[in-house]
Amino acid sequence: MWQRNVTRNAPYLVVSETAYTYKGVFLNLELALEQSCSTNIQHDDFEVVRKDTRFGGFEELKLRRENATVIMFVSLISLKLNSMELEKRVMKDGCSGALYPMYTRSGHRWALIVSSCRELYFTYRSGGRSVTQTLLWKERQNSREGIGVWRVGNYAWKVYAAKNDSQRNTLEKLRADYRRADVRGLPMGRPRFQDGTIKQGNGNPYGGMALIVDWFEGTNFNFHRPPKLFKSALELQRVSCSKSSIDHKKIKAGCESAKAVGLQDCQGYVKGGRYEPIVFIDVHTSWNARQGRFGTSQQAIDMVDIIIAWGTQP
């Protein structure tokens, strides 16, 4: 049975407002959980959808007699992240739900995450008509800035929320950064921006934007911790050491463009033999509007040095 008093001091986090169907009754989330705590429902009343070893381990479950709501039980004892990190890494933007401490089972304190998000619908105008792209939540890849990244055919869709002026201003700055980078020849997989509306599950639609680029498979590089070394990507892709080779010339030109725009948080993919053997993702330049020029990026400078040193043959 769910016992609220057992875990009264456990972390509590509301990710966003949502609603929840319980025993056929559509309820506000908080009211639903109040009711569920007093009902005689057991852990075995749920079907295990999947198990995950991340974040100390958790199970994703759903009520055997309900198919509209996906929920997860998380062991709070073994959980290595605090509630804010859980929000960022497990729930992430837009998957409406909440984390609630619920009960003790097998000597562990458990919390309940309720989520009504299974798919995201992105609707936009194309050729004078309305088009809706369905993006399944289970196919979503994490994004630090957007709601998520999906593969749609030969393209990658990175979807952003634009619910308020702050988000809209941030996205306009992002567009401007991509325009400036494109003018200076930064390889980015032919990016384009698509405005539209987003609808998640049974929630109300809201403004959004999709950044659409060519889907790129290759060796990832970044300067995160731990880093995925640019030089290692060159090695794994067996990029030619000949300075006159097409791959070397294009990769060198791409790195020089990154240096020219002062590219921050340099990351992307290397794939030998492609039209664009290097592409940069999550583009942010160091443009200074007040000074009317770009700043510098030590990461980009290092990448130029690496590719120049790579060219050991004519």
3-state SS record for 53-104: CHHHCEEEEEECCCCCCEEEEEECCCCCCCHHHHHHHHHCCCCCEEEEEEEE
Q: Is pLDDT of 186 > 70? A: yes
Task: Measure the CA–CA gap between 115 and 97, rounded to whole angstroms.
Answer: 4
Global pTM value: 0.67
**Secondary structure of residue 202 in the 3-state scheme:** coil
Other residues' Cβ atoms within 10 Å of the Cβ of residue 199: 16
Q: What does the pLDDT read at residue 140?
A: 86
Q: What does the pLDDT read at residue 62?
A: 58
Span between the terminal Cα atoms of the chain, in Å: 73
Q: What does the pLDDT read at residue 138?
A: 76
**CA distances (Å), 302 to each of 21, 224, 229, 260, 299, in order?**
54, 15, 11, 13, 5
Nearest to 90 by CA among 15, 4, 181: 15
- Residue pLDDT, tens place only, 106-155: 554 455 554 445 688 999 999 999 999 999 877 888 788 888 899 999 99
| Per-residue buried b or exposed e for 284-302, using 16+ beta carbons within 10 Å of the residue's own CB | bbebeeeeeebeebebbeb
Q: Is pLDDT of 166 > 80? A: yes
Nearest to 157 by CA among 106, 207, 181, 121: 121
**Are 22 and 93 in contact, with CB atoms under 8 Å apart?**
no
Q: Which residue has the tokens 């009520």?
A: 63
Helix or strand holding residue 230 (H, E) = helix 230-236
- Residue pLDDT, tens place only, 60-104: 555 554 443 444 443 333 344 444 554 444 444 344 444 444 445
Task: Measure the CA–CA gap between 152 and 14, rounded to whole angstroms.
Answer: 31
**What's 16's DSSP letter?**
S
Q: What does the pLDDT read at residue 72?
A: 42
Q: Is pLDDT of 227 > 60? A: yes
62 against 225, higher pLDDT:
225
Tally of helices (H runs) and strands (E runs) in the chain? 6, 19
Q: What does the pLDDT read at residue 26?
A: 26
- Residue pLDDT, tens place only, 44-63: 666 666 666 654 555 555 55
Q: Is pLDDT of 240 > 70? A: yes
Distance from CA of residue 65 to its chain's centroid?
Answer: 31
